[in-house]
Amino acid sequence: MKTLFITTDFTNASHNALTYGISMARALGARIVLFHAYQIQVMAGVDTAVAVPEVDTRASVLDRLSQHLRALGDCGVQIDLLTGEGQASRTILQVAKEQQADLIVTGMKVHSKLFRQLFGSTVTDLAKHTKIPLLVVPETANYRMPSRIAVASDIAPDMDAHTLDALTEIGERFQSKVYVVRVIKDRFDEVYELLHRNEKVNRLSRSLDTQYTYAHNKDVAEALGFFIEAEQIDLLALVPHKHTLLEKWFFKSTTKEVIFKSPVPVLVLPERTTATDPAG
C-alpha cells in the first residue's frame, strides 16, 4: 500500500482514526492524505442569507488541518493535506479515487442504539458505495499490530481474487494469523459450509497462515463479537454482498450492524465478482 486516505471531521473519533492510520502508514511505508469534506457555509441575516465564499471556507479548513497536524508533532510519515466541497461520503470517494488511494481510513463515533436506528452514518454510506478498501476505526480502539485477523464473509466462488488484495497485503506484511469465520444460522448452512470450506480457504493467498472456523448464532454481529474477544482479534475484515431492493427494504444490514458493534477496526473489502454485474 502506497497511499492511506484518512478522513477527518475534527472529532475525537476522527482524531483516533488518524493516530491509528499514522501507525499503520509507518509500518507499511505509506504516505497519508489527510482530507476534510466541507460544505459552503451560509450566514443567516434578518432578511437575507449570504453564502461564505468557497475560497474563504477552503482556506479556513486548510488552516484548521494544519493546526491539527502541527499538534501531532513529527509523525515519521509524509502527510499531505486536502479539502473538497460537497456531501461528505460522495466527496471522500471521489477525491480518494483521484489520489489513487489504496485504503480509506475513517473513524466511527460511539452512538446509542436509538441513534443508529434513526440516522445512519457517513461511515455506513462509505461502506455501501466504496470501491476502495475502507478501514473503520472505532472511537475507543487503540492501535495494535494486526497479528490476528478475522475474515467474516461467505467467500463466494465467483468472487474476483483481487477483492482480497488489501487483506492479503496486510496479512503478509504483519505475518498475521487469519481466521475465516462463518456464522452458521441453521443446519442447512452447516452442511453447505462443510462441503465448501476448502474452496473458501483457498480463495486466500497461500502465503497466509489461515484457519477456517464457524460459530452457531442467529445474530452475526453478536457471534463475531464473541469470537473477537475469545481469540483476541486485532482486525475484522468484511466482504459485504450486494443486496436486492427487497432485502434493503425489509432486512437490516448485517454489514452496518457489525461496523457499529465491532470493538476492533473493521476492514471493508468491496466485492468484485468475475460474473457480469447487471448493475454495472
Which of 166, 124, 120, 178 lies closest to 272, judged by CA? Answer: 166
Which secondary-structure segment (H or E) carries 180?
strand 177-184
Instruction: Assign 1 a pLDDT band (cuts: 50, 70, 90).
Output: very high
Quick one: cell of 154?
461467505
DSSP 53: P
* pLDDT recorded at residue 117: 47
Give, in degrees to the nearest 5, the angle at Cα 29 between 139 and 5: 45
Quick one: cell of 12?
475525537
Q: Do 269 and 259 touch, CB atoms closer than 8 A?
A: no
Which of 133, 138, 99, 111 lies closest to 17, judged by CA? Answer: 138
Measured distance CA(269)–CA(154) in Å, rounded: 13
pLDDT in tens, 69-117: 888 888 899 999 999 999 999 999 999 999 999 999 999 887 655 545 4
DSSP 72: H
Q: Do 215 and 184 touch, CB atoms closer than 8 A?
A: yes
Q: Give helix 220-231 / helix 254-261 axis angle, nearest 10°.
A: 40
Which of 107, 213, 195, 103 lies closest to 157, judged by CA? Answer: 195
The percent helix, strand, coil of the chain (3-state, each to 5) is 40, 25, 35
pLDDT in tens, 103-115: 999 998 876 555 4
CATH 3.40.50.300 fits 148-268, yes or no: no
Measured distance CA(258)–CA(265) in Å, rounded: 11
Measured distance CA(63)–CA(237) in Å, rounded: 35
Fold match between 3-138 and 148-268?
yes
Q: Do 123 and 11 touch, CB atoms closer than 8 A?
A: no
* pLDDT recorded at residue 260: 84
* pLDDT recorded at residue 71: 85
Length of the chain: 280
Measured distance CA(271)–CA(161) in Å, rounded: 10
Fold designation for 3-138:
Rossmann fold (3.40.50)
Q: Are strands 134-138 and 31-38 parallel, antiparallel or unpaired?
A: unpaired
Which of 269, 212, 201 lies closest to 235, judged by CA? Answer: 269
Query: Which residue ranges make up each domain of the chain?
Result: 3-138, 148-268
Instruction: Assign 280 a pLDDT band (cuts: 50, 70, 90).
Output: very low
Give, in degrees to the nearest 5, the angle at Cα 13 between 3 and 62: 60
Start-to-end CA distance of the chain, whole Å, equals: 27
Measured distance CA(21)–CA(221) in Å, rounded: 24
Bigger pLDDT: 244 vs 276: 244
| Max avg pLDDT among 138-152, 191-205, 263-277 | 138-152
